[in-house]
Amino acid sequence: MKKLKILTSQAVPGMIIEEDVYTAANHLIIPAGTTVSNKVITRLKFYSIHQITVSVGDEAAIPPAPAPSAQVQTAKPAPVPIPTPKPEMYSEKVKNTREFKAFSSSVERSTERFHNQIASIVEKDAPIDEDALVNDINSILLHARNGMHVFDMLHSMRDFDDETYLHSINVAMIANVLGRWLHFTRRDLDTLTLCGLLHDIGKLAMPPEIIKKPEKLTDPEYDTMMTHPLRGYNILRGQKANIHVQMTAMMHHERCDGSGYPLGIKADQIDRFAKIVMIADVYEAMTAARIYRGPLCPFEVIGIFESEGLAKYDTRAVMTFLEHVNQTYLHNNVRLNDHSEGVIVMMNPTSLSRPVIKVGNDFIDLSREHNLYIEAIL
Q: What is the CATH number of the domain that holds 26?
A: 3.90.105.10
Indicate whether 84 belongs to any domain: no
Query: Are residue 19 and residue 101 in the same domain, yes or no?
Result: no
Query: Are residue 250 and residue 159 in the same domain, yes or no?
Result: yes
Helical residues (DSSP H) of 269-340, grouped into ranges: 272-287, 298-312, 315-328
Residue 85: predicted pLDDT: 42
Indicate whether 66 belongs to any domain: no
Indicate whether 190 belongs to any domain: yes
27 beta partners: none
Query: Are residue 120 and residue 264 in the same domain, yes or no?
Result: yes
Among 278, 295, 312, residue at a domain's last position: 295
Q: Are 106 and 143 in contact (CB under 8 A)?
A: yes
Query: Are residue 36 and residue 94 in the same domain, yes or no?
Result: no
**Domain residue limits at 358:** 333-377
Residue 259: predicted pLDDT: 92
Per-residue pLDDT of 261-279, as tens digits, reads: 999 999 999 999 999 999 9
Query: Are residue 96 and residue 48 in the same domain, yes or no?
Result: no
What is the pTM assigned to this prediction? 0.74
Distance (Å) of CA 183 to CA 133, 188, 267 = 22, 10, 21
Indicate whether 309 belongs to any domain: no
Query: Are residue 338 and residue 214 in the same domain, yes or no?
Result: no
Indicate whether 85 belongs to any domain: no
> Per residue of the chain (378 residues), what is the pLDDT tens digit?
778 888 787 888 888 998 888 765 455 678 888 888 877 777 776 565 767 888 887 666 666 655 443 443 434 444 444 343 444 555 677 777 888 788 888 888 888 888 888 888 877 788 888 999 999 988 888 877 766 667 767 766 655 444 668 889 999 999 999 999 999 999 999 999 999 999 999 987 788 888 777 777 888 888 888 999 999 999 999 999 999 999 999 999 999 999 999 999 999 999 999 999 999 999 998 887 665 556 788 898 898 888 877 889 999 999 999 999 888 888 889 999 999 999 999 999 889 999 999 999 999 999 999 899 999 888
206 beta partners: none
376 beta partners: 335
Indicate whether 196 belongs to any domain: yes
Query: Are residue 217 and residue 363 in the same domain, yes or no?
Result: no
Query: Are residue 49 and residue 157 in the same domain, yes or no?
Result: no
CATH number at residue 177: 1.10.3210.10
User: Which of 18, 23, 17 is closest to 46 using CA atoms?
Assistant: 23
Query: Are residue 173 and residue 264 in the same domain, yes or no?
Result: yes
Query: Are residue 102 and residue 223 in the same domain, yes or no?
Result: yes
Query: Are residue 46 and residue 114 in the same domain, yes or no?
Result: no
Distance (Å) of CA 327 to CA 43, 171, 286, 324, 348 = 24, 19, 19, 5, 10
Indicate whether 133 belongs to any domain: yes
Indicate whether 306 belongs to any domain: no
Residue 188: predicted pLDDT: 97
Q: What is residue 86's three-state secondary structure?
A: coil
Q: How many domains are contained in the chain?
A: 3
Query: Are residue 234 and residue 347 in the same domain, yes or no?
Result: no
Residue 174: predicted pLDDT: 94
